[in-house]
Structure 1
Amino acid sequence: MPSDGDPILTTSEPKPTVPLTLEKIVAAIAMAALCLITLGNVIARYLTNYSFAFTEEYSIALMVVVTMLGASIATAMDRQIRITWFASLLPPRGQFWAEILATLATIGMFVLLIVLGGQVVWDEYRFEVTSPGLGEPQWIYTLALPLLAVVVVARAIGYLIGTLRTRHGAVQDRIEPF
């Protein structure tokens, strides 16, 4: 299969200043735990006709961890979701500013997630909300969302700084500097 049209296969991956090793390891551990919990639940249901429904709480918390760490890794590696077709119609200077605007929007949305997620965690802690299956404090599960949103914001800020330093950063293959 030719890889002429696939930008993922044809471009080199940007190297973030801070290595992604810890994020990748934690994401892999969370994904492995999620798979083991699900496998255990399926085997138990098949052999005993009994479901470990309470494991759903752990599964949801692990899915949030995997999702947020994946967003962090994608942000650092310039793999954020964006509409490149529209940006590619812009002149080179417009492409550069579209990249800056998209990164600022990413930072803004995850800062909003930090603030609102922090409020949810505080409310769950203050009102002593417990999880329905295990009766554990719900804020323990919810805390992963705002904490890992901080990691995504840090990665987005690092990406933005790198883009501004090079004056054309991650879009260097597509545009010329001013």
Structure 2
Amino acid sequence: MAEPTSTSAPAPDKPRVPLAIEEALAAAAIAVMGLITFANVVTRYTTNVSLAFTEEYAIVLMVAMTLLGASVAVARDHHIRIGFLIDRFGPRGRLRAELLALGVTALVFGALVVLGTLMTIDEYRFEISSPGLGVPQWLYTLWLPLLSAVVTLRALGRAVRVVRRPDILQAGAGEP
């Protein structure tokens, strides 16, 4: 008996490195931010003292969560695009638009890697400390180039998968 063939959507393209890593780290960042905020609110209402210094941690976690989310969005093809235009392109046009978007993404986040690294080195070299806690600032800044590198690699990985399997690009693809 012949198996039915499916002409609907192509098989999903999955990255080699599981997205669960970024998802777990982003979830942990959200959880810690929630705990910090909850502790700050409870302390403020019970003792009339604010834990304002925790704002530094919350900001770093927010940046980390944003970059981790960007990495997942790029790998899953949920990046922002103008679907109204892209969906009207033929297969070659969609491929070119996708590769252009991924190239620009890799370029921008690659620039963040370079510039973030230079900034981190400067903060380390000049022993800059954070204003609220006096912690070395480079400990906070270090996450910008590291996580930007993750986004860059995810964009390049997606570009490789798209070139190998252009059939994964369909009109309306990438919508959550």
Range class of TM-score, shorter chain: 0.7 to 0.9
Structure 1 partner of 2:40 = 41
Measured in 2, the distance between the counterparts of 1:72 and 1:90 equals 26
Q: Secondary structure at the match of 2:130?
A: coil
Superposed, 1:20-169 pairs within 5 Å as 20-169=19-168
Question: 2:88, 2:171 within 8 Å by CA — same for their partners in 1?
Answer: no
| Count of matched residue positions in the alignment of Structure 1 and Structure 2 | 165
Report the CA distance between 1:90 and its aligned residue: 2.6
- Distance in 1 between residues matched to 2:50 and 2:84, nearest whole Å: 46
Please report how far the alpha carbon of residue 44 of structure 1 lies from its aligned counterpart in structure 2 after TM superposition: 0.8
Q: Quick one: which amino acid aligns to residue 151 of structure 1?
A: V
Unaligned runs of 5+ in 1: 1-9
Is the contact made by 2:83 and 2:172 (CA closer than 8 Å) also made in structure 1?
no
> Which one is further off, 79-88 or 13-22?
13-22
2:91–2:170: 8 Å Cα contact kept in structure 1? no
Match of 1:172 among 164, 170, 173: 170
Measured after TM superposition, the shift of residue 97 of structure 1 is: 0.5
1:101 & 1:86 partners in 2: Cα distance?
14
Which gives a bigger RCO, structure 1 or 2 (Cα 8 Å, sep 6+)? Answer: 2
- Matched to 1:24, the amino acid is E
Deviation at 1:117, TM superposition (A): 0.9
Q: Is the 8 A contact 2:71 2:154 kept in 1?
A: yes
Question: In 1, Cα distance between the equivalents of 2:155 and 2:167?
Answer: 16
Q: Which runs of 5+ in 2 are unaligned?
A: 1-8
Give the ranges of 4+ consecutive aligned residues of structure 1 lying more than 3 Å apart after TM superposition. 10-14, 172-175
Determine what percentage of the aligned residue pairs are the same residue. Answer: 50
Letter in 2 for 1:47: T
Amino acid at match of 1:56: E
